[in-house]
Every structure is written in structure tokens, then in C-alpha cells.
Chains A and B, each alone.
Chain A
Amino acid sequence: MMRVTRVLVLMSLMPAAYVSAQSPGVPPAPQNRPVIVASKPFGESYLLCEMFAQLLESRGLRVERRPGLGATEIAFGALRRGAIDAYPEYTGTGLIAILHDSLSDSVLADPRAVFAHVARRFADEYRVRWLPPLGFQNTYAIAVTRATASKYRLRTLSDLAREGPYLTAGFTADFIGRSDGLVGLSRVYGLHPRAVRPLAPAVKYQALASGAVDVIDGYSTDGLLARYDLVTLVDDRHFFPPYEAAALVTEKLGMEIPAAIDALTLLSGRLDESTMRQLNRRVEVDGEDITVVAASELRALGLVGGGRTTAKVEGSTRPGFIRYLWDRRTNLAELTLRHLLLVGLALLAAVLVAVPFGLFLERTRHLAEPAIGALGVLQTIPSIALLAFMIPLLGVGVTPALVALWLYALYPIGRGTYTGVRDADPDAVSAAEALGTTPVQRLLWVRLPLAAPVIMAGIRTAAVITVGAATLAAFIGAGGLGEPIVAGLALADTRMILSGALPAAALALLVDGVLALVERLVAPAHRREGIWRKHDLQAGPRPA
């Protein structure tokens, strides 16, 4: 039952005081800011991030956790910009996905040479340091079921390429697009599966086990690889580079908080592949709490004192979903509140900008369609890409998320305002003009009141879009209900996903409902007879 409680608690942007309260009574090193430790959104990365964090805390350092950052571009982008201090990365990913380097086969065959190359290039180009490797590799494991392996006589990737036309692949989107993924496999092995289905990491093992796909891309240290008794195909042409895991840290951290580097280096060489597979298995298969797994391993390695026992280990029975939600009510309430805050602020800012902008466009109509078209183009940028664009400008956290959400909300509101005001009862507007109203009077007395329903419809659309898009804000560490969704996807934990998705859906309905009420309140007087009995206007015009 304790599986994710702590994960959720720790992933929310909780007061740093709570974090440091957990650290033993080592006198704190002189440090005027927390060390910001992050991870990418998959299980092992979460676990390593938590181990880094606990290790730092055990040395009296203040830590801020930002787990589950987007993917490589977002996590590395944040590090490069100094928005985070450290996260676990893999040399192969650094080599191919970040540096886009190609090395000779002889170098590729030597993990140490690859590490040296990557470390040097990163220091030169990005002022980012690779700490000595943790001690294990986590390479791509192209896996099939035992039954498929024997039916098609598959042992190596060359075998797979031979049988490719008969097989359906289920690959993660990341793998499909990466040059050290499917692209390279097709080039080197001539692998062309009958069909390639993009799969979320959370579902790929189930998809394979249920026979929906025949082959998947796993990670060699995945806990689920063992659970489903899968066969990992041998990379007989040495296509994949070594993927040695290591802590990636900024040079700035070394200068500002050298103690942090010392602490993190303690893990170097301490985690071998079987240990890591074991730990991943505890998290992904047995459903143990990440904080507990991290703490017990650090203790086992003798890196933190044994003073802290985990009182929560005993309850490993799975309670019902309602109970699960109830146990997390405080945390979910915080996440919901934060979500609402993100949506509310972004929406408010969008209203403040887009409504006047729509009104302005109504006065300069030749600009209107191009300008609104440009806002519409923003709408077509995938949220995750927009969030990634934000990082070089604004780092990670709440600010870039707010800006991205704000950008998405501009279009529906601007469009609604412009259209509503433009099309407001033309006869009434022209008569008001002919009788001597000023443009401002026509706007305030005629156009805006008549356009109010259309403007509100735009705001409602924007609100619902924003509630949905805000779940993605978790990818750049802005918190909200996306946190359990992202973490749940990474850990293949459906209940965790639902604990974020259901409140988010309810929130969308609620926000829409509240705005529907507002819409009725701002409806032009002649259309709201039902709720607004004749109380106003009875006295005729308001005094000038």
C-alpha cells in the first residue's frame, strides 16, 4: 500500500523544510540554495534521482526534486540552462541523441573510450560534467516472448531482420525516431517490420505479453523483462553503443556546492547490472515505494546510516482504488489546487491580453485574419514541443508552463472576441452610430454586451484546453495533476495514472460548468430573462 504514497508526496513541489526534516542530524554544509535533482520520466530514472536526493540529504545538503522531466531534450535542456543541477543519463544517449556523434566500431566496443569521449565533448560544449559511471549499462533490449523466439528461431537482431516481414513491432515513440533506435536498426540490420505501432512505455510489456505486438524495445535493466520471461535478442553487429549510467551535473554545481559532487560520486561504481535490475524489479514489479527502495539500497551500500527504518514496508497488500485515492487525499488536493492555479493564472493572463487584442483587431480588420491565423498556428504546435521550446528561454518549473498554457489559451479567446464583436447585431451597431454614440460607447453599450456569449464560449474552450494541457506541465516540473500521470506512465501504474487523470477530467467539467454559469450571467439582458427577473433597466437608461 505504500508503493506510491511517498513518490507522490515527494514529487509535488513541497516545502523544502519537509525534505530536510528527513535528513539525519548532520550539521548542514554552508549552502544558500537547494541542489535541484531531476530525472527523466521512466522508472529507473526516478529511482536513481531519489537515490541521488537521499544521498545528498544524508550529507546535510538541501535538495529539491524535479522528477519526470519530459524526455532527453527537456531534461538535458534544463540542465544545460542551469535550471536543474543533476540527473541520471546514459553515455549512449549522450553520444547519439545529444551530441549526434558517430564513432568508429573499435571505439564503440569500449565503454570506457565512449565515456571519455562523451565526457570531454560535454565539458567543452556544454560545461556539463559526467561523474564516474555508476557501474551498470542500461542498453536497449529488443525483446520477444519465448514462444515467438522459438517459433521464428530468433536469437539475434539479424534473425529478427530476417523474420521482420512477419512481425509487428511495438516501439516507444522515442525509439522510433532516434538514430540509435529503429532508424539505425533499419539501416544496419535491414529491419523492416510488417507494422510499427508506437506504444507508451507503460503498456509495451502488456502489449507484448498479450500478443498485440511481437517485438518491443525494452531497457536491459527493466524489472519487467524478467517478470514476463522475455528473450533479449543479441546485438550481433554491435549496433547499440554502450549505455553506461552516470550522474550528469553542471559545472556550476561543482563550483557552488562542491560537497554535492563529493556526495554523488560516492555512488560511482557501486551499482552493477544485476543490482539495478533487482531494484527496478522491486519498483516496477513488486510495487515498492521508490523512496523505500532507494533508502534501503543506500543503507545496504553503507552510504547512509541505518538509523532510519521504513515503517511503511509491511503493508504491501493492494487496497481498492477508492481507498487508494483516499489515502492520497491531501496530496491530490494539493496537486488539484496547483493545477487549478496554473489553469487560472494562465487563463486570466490570456483573457487580459486576448480580449483587448480581439477588440483591437475589430478596429483594424485588415490585420485580423493574419493575426488570428498566427495565433492559430501556435495551437498546432504539440504541447510537449512547445514546452521544450520554453526551456532555453525560461528554464523549467511554473513559469515556462504558465507561458505555454497562456499561449494556447490566446487563440480561442482572441478569435471569440474578434468574431463576437465583429458580428454583433449590425443593425443595432449602425443605428447607434447614426444617432451619435461615440466608438467607445458603441463598444461598451452595444458590441461587448452582444458579443459576451461568443467571447465566453471562447473562454470556456480555452479553459477546457488548458485543464488538459496543464497535465503536460508535469514534464517540465511545474507540478499539478500531470505528476501522477507522468509518474504512473513511467512506472506502469494504472492506479497512479488514474489518480491524476480522473481529478483532471472532473476539473475540466467543473471549470466548464462554472464558466457556463458565468456565461449566463454576462448574457445580454434580453436573453437572460429566465434567471434575471426585471430588476434592472426598469428605470430606463442609466444616468450619463
Chain B
Amino acid sequence: MSPAAITLKSMPISLAARNVTHRFGNVVALDDVSVEVPAGRAVALVGESGSGKTTLLRCFNRLVEPQRGEVRVGDKDVRTQPAVLLRRGIGYVQQHGGLLPHWRVLRNVALVPMLREMPDATDAARQALELVGLPASDFGNRFPHELSGGQRQRAAVARSIAARPGVILLDEPFGALDAISRADLQESFDRLRHDLSVTTLLVTHDLAEAGRLADEVVVMRAGRIEQQGTMRTLITAPATQYVARLIERARAGLEALRL
């Protein structure tokens, strides 16, 4: 572990959603959902599009304000502090990175430290880039369009951890990458989150990715939770037919690669 990583280490904080319900017009996105993510653990939300997994994720940084139920980050209800301040304490990575195209990589990564008016914002950004394998000396001065897709997602991950948040939210973070880049990134992210001991909530439609990165998996369907547990539990004791079929499908995909 590099010395830089130690300084980045932060106190992990827990996440909790209790009896959360949210509708978009007539569509029920979340129907009385409860999820707990203990501090320092990684949980994956798995499901098809429209299952409500992204909506649930976005409740934690108040991009969605649920109509019923309670959402807690650390031991505080998210509504007790302004959304802008809440978000600056939570790392966030989205599918297409969302780097600001007109800012160089270093400045992009320094965004949250700068928003939090950290005096060593640039140093924090350099350390974060180091951690994701994009040394600032080589990459800091480039524009996002001068990076490969994988490098852009690494930069996005660096941006999410630069301000040493206690929790990171990832929304299909590697979904748009080719298989090899995705595997590389999954591997280094897994190491990174253990090194940082940061609480992680991951949205993915890829069961294999969930199993590789998360301690626990939450399977969602039509705004409800089908099952929550370790991957081993899901495989050995699927709670519903849907979970069983989901695992069957994922396995079939892998079988096809066998000789």
C-alpha cells in the first residue's frame, strides 16, 4: 500500500434505506424498499432496467427525493443537510464517466476537494490519480478526450475518491467498457475499495460483476427487493423463481464460453 493511500483513508460510513417508496408519475419505481449497507462493506444492486436499482442509489445523494420512507447516510437522515453539502461527502461514478470535457484530468479529479475548499486540493487529486493507476505526471494534463474509455473511467473513479469520502456510489461504472478493460477496472477497484475501506454501493445489471465486487447482493425487480444476501446464498438458496432464473441465465452466458 502506498503512503498516499494512507492519507486518503477515511472513516467508512453506513447507508440505510427504510421503507422507501417513490413513483414517477404512475410508475412505481420503489415500493417499500429497505436496504442496509454496513460501514466499510460493498453491496451490489442487481436487476433489469426499470427494476428501481438506480432510483434507489440516487436516493442516497438526494438526486431522487423519495416520497415515503427514510434514507440515512452515516447516522443522519439525508434531509437534515443541504443536498449540495451531502453530495460533496459522497463519491459518485456514473456509466459514461461524466468528466468535464473542457477541464484537464487533474482539475477534473480535484473538483470535489476544491468544492470542499480543501487547501491541498491538487495534492489530493494527484494521490487519487496515482491510486487508480493514472500518474498525474503522465495524465493530469490531458483532456478527457485524450484518454481511452478505460482511462476515463479510472479518472472518474479517482474523482470520486479524491476528497476521501466515507462512501462511494457507482452506477453501472464499467458497463460501457470492453470486456478486458472492464475486468482490469473491476480488479483494481476491488483492491482500491478494500485499501480505502470505503463503503460501496454499486448498481449493475451484471451478476458476475456484482459477485466479484460486492460482499452482498440485492436483487431488485419492479421496485421491490427479491432477495438480499451473499452471492453464495443466492446461488444455493434462491428466494424466488426470478432469482433462480437470473442466476441460471448468468451461468448459461458463462457456459457458452466453455469448450
Q: Which residues of A contact B (CB under 8 A)?
A: 425, 427-428, 430-438, 441, 445-446, 449-450, 524-527, 529, 534, 537-541, 544
Contacts and interface: CB of A to CB of B under 8 A. Distances in A.
B116 to A, nearest CB: 8
Contacts of B135: none
B122 A539 contact: yes
B106 A540 contact: yes
A434 B96 CA distance: 13
B102 A434 contact: no
Contact of B115 (A435, A529, A538): A435
Given A435-B112, A437-B84, A524 B102 contact: yes
A525 B98 contact: no
Nearest to B144: A526
A59 B106 CA distance: 78
Nearest to B140: A540
A526 B101 contact: yes
Contacts of B86: 436
Contacts of B92: 431, 434-435
A530 to B, nearest CB: 13
Given A525-B103, A540-B121, A541-B121, A431 B114 contact: no
B1 to A, nearest CB: 25
A436 B85 contact: yes
A525 to B, nearest CB: 5
A428 B100 contact: yes
Interface in B77-130: 84-89, 92, 94, 96-104, 106-107, 110-112, 114-115, 117, 121-122, 125
A446 B103 CA distance: 9
A225 B121 CA distance: 84
Interface in B147-201: 156, 159-160, 169
B51 interface: no
Nearest to A529: B143
A540 B122 contact: yes
A427 B141 contact: no
A544 B117 contact: yes
A525 B102 contact: yes
Considering the complex of A and B, which 5 residue pairs feature the smallest CB-CB distances, nearest first?
A: A431-B98, A436-B88, A436-B87, A524-B102, A526-B143
B14 interface: no
A526 B145 contact: yes
Contacts of B84: 436-438
Contacts of B100: 425, 428, 431-432, 445-446
Contacts of A445: 100
B115 A431 contact: no
A278 B119 CA distance: 87
A401 B100 CA distance: 43
Contacts of A524: 101-102
B88 A435 contact: yes
B49 to A, nearest CB: 17
A541 B117 contact: no
Given A436-B89, A544-B115, 20 more contacts: A425-B101, A428-B101, A431-B99, A432-B111, A434-B61, A434-B98, A435-B112, A436-B84, A436-B86, A436-B87, A436-B88, A437-B115, A525-B102, A525-B103, A525-B104, A525-B143, A526-B102, A526-B144, A541-B103, A541-B125
B110 A541 contact: yes
B218 to A, nearest CB: 21
A449 B98 contact: no
A51 to B, nearest CB: 64
A177 to B, nearest CB: 54
Interface residues of B, number: 39
B63 interface: yes
B172 to A, nearest CB: 12
B98 A430 contact: yes
A434 B87 contact: yes
Interface string B206-241: 000000000000000000000000000000000000
B98 A432 contact: yes
A430 B94 contact: yes
Contacts of B85: 436
Given A428-B100, A430-B94, A435 B125 contact: no
Contacts of A428: 98-101
A490 B111 CA distance: 64
12 contacts: A430-B94, A431-B92, A432-B100, A435-B111, A435-B160, A436-B84, A437-B115, A449-B102, A524-B101, A526-B102, A537-B107, A541-B125
A534 B159 contact: no
Contacts of B144: 526
A527 B143 CA distance: 10
Contacts of B106: 540
Contacts of A450: 101-102
Nearest to B146: A526
A541 B114 contact: yes
A436 to B, nearest CB: 4
Contacts of A434: 61, 63, 87, 92, 94, 98, 169
A180 B114 CA distance: 75
Contact of A540 (B61, B98, B125): B125
B159 A435 contact: yes
A486 to B, nearest CB: 47
Contacts of A534: 141
Contacts of B61: 434
A426 to B, nearest CB: 9
A439 to B, nearest CB: 9
A310 B237 CA distance: 113
A15 B23 CA distance: 71
A45 B112 CA distance: 71
Nearest to B116: A436
A430 B112 CA distance: 14
Contacts of A540: 104, 106-107, 110, 121-122, 125, 140
B153 to A, nearest CB: 12
A524 B61 CA distance: 29
Most chain B C-beta atoms within 10 Å of own C-beta, residue among A430, A436, A524, A525: A436
B94 A541 contact: no
A304 to B, nearest CB: 70
A544 B101 contact: no
A232 to B, nearest CB: 71
A427 B143 contact: no
A430 B87 CA distance: 12
